[in-house]
Amino acid sequence: VYIAQAVVVATRSNYRRLGVEGEDDLIGAGVHFCATCDGPFYKGAEELVVVGGGNSGVEEGLFLTNFAKKVTIIEFQEKLAASKLLQDKANSSPNVEVHTNTEILELKKTDGGRLASISTKDRKTGEVTEITPEAMFVFIGLDPNTEIFQGTLDLDQRGFIKTTETLMTSIPGVFAAGDVRSGSTKQLASAAGEGAAVLLMVRSYLEKKGDLAVHIG
């Protein structure tokens, strides 16, 4: 048991996975969750696949057209959930192809352990198709690591921790920062910035309580 005057929760979030056969073996070997990080490795690719038709998926799909001749966006639902502006951009791009109402069934790998093909199914017709992109980028949301805080801290509908403008949670002295926090941008630079900001908030909180023994700076 640890006792402290203040605690910062920064348990991050995990990229939501498809949960299909072959996925786990291909993480980092053709299956990715960050187009900005990994997209440049596929410059000159014939085809890249993006799974997810929300704002993140469509925006990252458009970004990937800088590297691939063709980007295929696959969405499970009947229509994209992205903003009209992003949908219009995707529909008007000669390098983007959109497949809605489509389910990912299986991922297959090469003898070298990289992504070889993706099996998809049209949810209306039942037709199964196999495509062979160089890589697949998954943007179907984030799952916050907040299970241990359920019933203790106030969480939003998706399980992210609610905070005030000072990054304090529903319990005085308990703060949250980064991807686990409701309303955060889920970007690395932002998370790093919140990490620095929350320490200042903790310092201010302890000073007001008279519990800060050592003042720095």
**Domain ranges in the chain?**
7-13+144-209, 17-138
How far is Cα 80 from Cα 58, in angstroms, rounded to an integer? 9
CATH topology of domain 17-138: FAD/NAD(P)-binding domain (3.50.50)
Residue pair 107/26 in contact (Cβ under 8 Å)? The answer is: yes
Annotation marks residue 37 as catalytic = yes
Torsion from C-alpha of 189, 190, 194, 195, nearest 10 degrees: -30
Domains 7-13+144-209 and 17-138 share a fold: yes
Choice among 37, 88, 154, 211 that is catalytic: 37
Residue 71: band (very low, low, confident or very high) from pLDDT cuts 50, 70, 90: very high
Residue 9: band (very low, low, confident or very high) from pLDDT cuts 50, 70, 90: very high
At residue 216, what are phi and psi to the nearest 5 degrees? -105, 135
Choice among 24, 25, 34, 88 that is catalytic: 34
Annotation marks residue 156 as catalytic = no
Q: How many CB atoms lie within 10 A of CB 104?
A: 21
Residue 157's SS3 state is: coil
Q: Which residue shows structure tokens 């489509």? A: 102
Annotation marks residue 25 as catalytic = no
Residue 214: band (very low, low, confident or very high) from pLDDT cuts 50, 70, 90: low
Q: Provide CATH code, domain 7-13+144-209.
A: 3.50.50.60
pTM over 0.85: no
Nearest residue to 186 (alpha-carbon basis) of 7, 9, 14, 8? 14
Choice among 25, 38, 122, 143 that is catalytic: 38
Q: State mean pLDDT over 176-190.
A: 90
How far is Cα 65 from Cα 203, in angstroms, rounded to an integer? 45
Q: State mean pLDDT over 78-87.
A: 96
